[in-house]
Amino acid sequence: MFSLFKKSKLDTSTPLKFKESILAKPATISDLSDPTVFQSWAKRENTREYMQVLEELASRGNAPSQEFVAQFYVITAARIANEDARLAMNYKALKYGVLAAESGIATEALNVPITALKLSSMSVEKSGQDFTQEAQSLVQIAYKWHNLNAKNQSISATDRRRSAQEASQLKDAWPELDEVQGSRTALKSSNAREAAMLRIVAAILLTLGSDAPTAVNVGEMAKEALQNISTAELSQCDVSAAVIFVLMKVALSAHDDQERDMAEMLVGKCKPIAKALMAKPSGDYTDLEFSMIDDSIEAMKKIEFS
């Protein structure tokens, strides 16, 4: 049995042998992700040549390679401190995630909109809170794949419902989203308030992830919480401050309605964001942002200590 097990491993002696063994076996995602296989080439000086093999195979339609490369760049991006490098790794994750999703890998189909919204949020931060055409295009990609996932029978019924809900929430925030547009098509021009709301809604969905309450319409709750803030202020507002402000409004409402689990879940999501915001000097914030952060922290205290 031991000899048979050894034969099942991929040949990593050279990049060419690696490529040939992937195609000959043919390799599965489990083969590529095997710790022994991965470590045998990942620690070599020519590691990049092995990644080039996987990227080449992924680009040519090899589904296991597509899935592996997409996951590799997601993990790599999470470990990188440099913002530009992290942005580049996430773009690679999106590129290969889309390829894997188009090949029918359900897990990657679900990951594509998450990565796209993450990149949109990063793009907004990098541009100084400006909702650029690049950020809009990324939200378009997320919307497109939420709609595709809502109809994908290889995805669980729960995930299909959640995908449909998140597509609806993005549509509520930006009515001109079009599910049939190609991934490189930018959103149509719209008014400044819709643009500001969309970047906030996208950030909220990213923050909540799979914990988004199915009974809550993110677009509507954001509009209600931010209705008294001017468009000019909202357009320049720090996205993270707006996110915890909206979510803590919802958390307080849930707390008052005795929905403690939801309230505590929202507090848990917002605490790391609040901590990061508080680490910056108060002078870095506008009066509105400072008020949002302060109100959110007070809401967290009320929920936690009542």
Q: What is the pLDDT of residues 196-208, one digit of tens each?
A: 787 788 788 778 7
39-43, Cβ contacts within 8 angstroms, sequence gap of 24 or more: 40/12, 41/12
Contact 303, 263 (CB under 8 A): yes
Mean predicted confidence (pLDDT) in 128-154 = 85
pLDDT at residue 129, as a whole number: 66
Q: Exposed (0-12), middle (13-18) or buried (19+): which is 76, by Cβ within 10 Å?
A: middle
**Residues of the chain above pLDDT 90, percent:** 43
Answer whether 69's CB lies under 8 Å from 97's CB: no
Query: Which pLDDT score, from 0 to 100, does residue 292 have?
Result: 94
Q: How far is CA 143 from CA 148, 171, 198, 239, in A?
A: 9, 8, 12, 20
pLDDT digits (tens, 9 = 90+) for 20-77: 999 998 999 999 999 899 989 988 889 999 999 999 999 999 999 999 999 999 999 8
Q: CB burial class (10 A; 0-12, 13-18, 19+) of residue 284?
A: exposed
20-29, Cβ contacts within 8 angstroms, sequence gap of 24 or more: 22/53, 22/57, 22/62, 22/64, 22/65, 23/57, 23/62, 26/64, 27/64, 27/65, 28/64, 29/64, 29/67, 29/68
Among 288, 281, 63, which Cα is nearest to 196's?
A: 288
pTM listed for this prediction: 0.68
Q: What's the mean per-residue pLDDT of the chain? A: 84
Instruction: Provide the percentage of residues in the chain whose pLDDT is more than 70.
Output: 89
Which run of H or of E encompasses 191? none
What pLDDT, on the 0 to 100 scale, is given for residue 216? Answer: 56
Residue 182: which pLDDT band, with cuts at 50, 70 and 90? Answer: very low
Kindly indicate the confidence band of residue 177, based on its pLDDT and cuts at 50, 70 and 90: confident
Q: What is the pLDDT of residue 189?
A: 40
pLDDT at res. 210: 61
Looking at residue 1, its pLDDT comes to 33
